[in-house]
Amino acid sequence: MNTNKLLIFSLILLLILNAICLNQVSSSRKKAETLQNTLNQKEVSHQNNIDFYESIIRASTSDVKVSIEVINGVKEQYPERKQLLEIDENKVVFFFNEGSCGSCILKAFQDLLALSENISPDNILVFTPSKYESDLVDPESYEFPVFYVESLGLNSEELNQPFIFMANSKWEVQSMFFPDLFEDMRYEYFGKILPKYFLFK
């Protein structure tokens, strides 16, 4: 009799333990599914942000180009660097004026320096109206060619903000970016958008 009671008690205990285990497994599975869904949503949201930003910069730079007169003037001013301006492939162009803050320029150069690890420094051209004086950064200390020009003739200069863009062989402006205005998009721009122009050279 006692043996039967012990068996029944053991069976009941096993059933209870089994139910607890199944409940824990189900709970863990639900948590894992919730976490995966959250990660998927974040990934989609992140990609949507990139796509949205790219659509903005495409629209803002549509049919904009640096005039050939400006480029010819720079070539005359820097005959020894003329070949760098005769673009046969995409170039990254960085423009800033003398009123830009030193820390802003420094951050932009740091981003460009990281980018130059994957593309030639000669593919990054720097334009500024006059020799930039700052305790934080010296543009000529980097490997990038620096050209001192009054203006590129772009309306975006009126914002008085440093900006970066891609220039193709016709000096058409593509993917213009204002680093200080879109701080949260720096990684996407320098790490994903710009490199795409050089993937299939």
* pLDDT confidence tier of residue 109, bands split at 50, 70 and 90: very high
Domain boundary (45, 60, 75) is at 60
On whether the CB atoms of residues 94 and 125 are closer than 8 A, the answer is yes
| Whether residues 113 and 183 fall in one domain | yes
Q: What is the pTM of this model?
A: 0.68
Q: Are residues 91 and 162 in the same domain?
A: yes
Kindly state whether residues 13 and 73 are assigned to the same domain.
Answer: no
State the chain's mean pLDDT as an integer: 78
Quote the pLDDT of residue 97: 86
Q: Domain check: are 32 and 79 in the same one?
A: no
Task: Please name the amino acid found at residue 176.
Answer: M
**3 and 46 both lie in a single domain:** yes
Q: What is the dihedral of CA 72, 156, 100, 49, to 10 degrees?
A: -120
Residue-wise pLDDT tens digits, 11-54: 676 667 666 665 665 665 665 566 566 555 545 555 666 665 55
Domain end point (choices 60, 76, 103): 60
Q: 50 is in which domain, residue-wise?
A: 1-60
